[in-house]
Amino acid sequence: MIGLIVLGVLLVYVFTVGIFIWLAIKAREKAGRRIAKYIAIALVLIPTWDIPLDGYLFHQLCKKEGGIFVYQKEGLSKKYYLTPGVSTRKLFIRPDGGQSNRLVKATGNELKVDSLKWSYNIENSTDFDYVGWGKVVKFTTTVSRGEKLLGKAVSFIGGAGWFAETINLGPRLSGERCPVYPREPDRPSYRERLLYKIFYKLKD
């Protein structure tokens, strides 16, 4: 299925380039070589002219609004953590950049994320049309206790330019993701990173 989607995107791209070349040839026949050259340059730049601007605005947005924000830390009793020695799956980062899940023994410092929902509200939201100047998707995770916001994690995907965003028919979003943090065991997502920054284990 993904292969067909990629093939479809490539066909759209090739078709678009063909249209541009055809228009340039027609322009040369009617307007002369010099004018046709400028028209050809314009047609090439039309799909890509906004990529530098889109990328700049995207990175400015990331610096201003993206990241993990902790407003209040909370100490948790051991009931919110795995018992030392029990089997659990952990994410390991390989030297080649890949990742794998392995069954290992818990150290006792691993959060039982599912148990937090009884005392805390953890919400994930996605805004697919966050800005007006380009296609930027905003991902937000918030953690609260009652009306008190304890922290939030905000990340974005975007900066690809309108052409790539328009012809993107695949399941993955166009552009890059930010902020980018080194991947760590136990914290493969922004949610886990946020939870481990907010909560800490109380001493017995």
pTM: predicted TM-score of the whole model, two decimal places:
0.66
Determine the 3-state secondary structure of 19 from DSSP: helix
**What are the helix (H) ranges across the chain?**
2-31, 33-45, 51-65, 113-116, 162-167, 190-198
Q: Is 45 left (phi over 0), alpha (psi -120 to 50) or beta?
A: alpha
In the chain, which residues have pLDDT < 70? 1-54, 93-98, 132-134, 159-175, 182-188
Determine the pLDDT at residue 196. 92
Beta carbons of 106 and 84 less than 8 angstroms apart = yes
Closest to 111 measured CA to CA, from 173, 50, 200, 190: 200
* Cα(134)–Cα(161) distance, integer angstroms: 7
Contact 179, 66 (CB under 8 A): yes
Closest CA to 11 of 167, 156, 116, 197: 167
* Percent above pLDDT 70 for the chain: 56
CA 16 to chain centre: 28
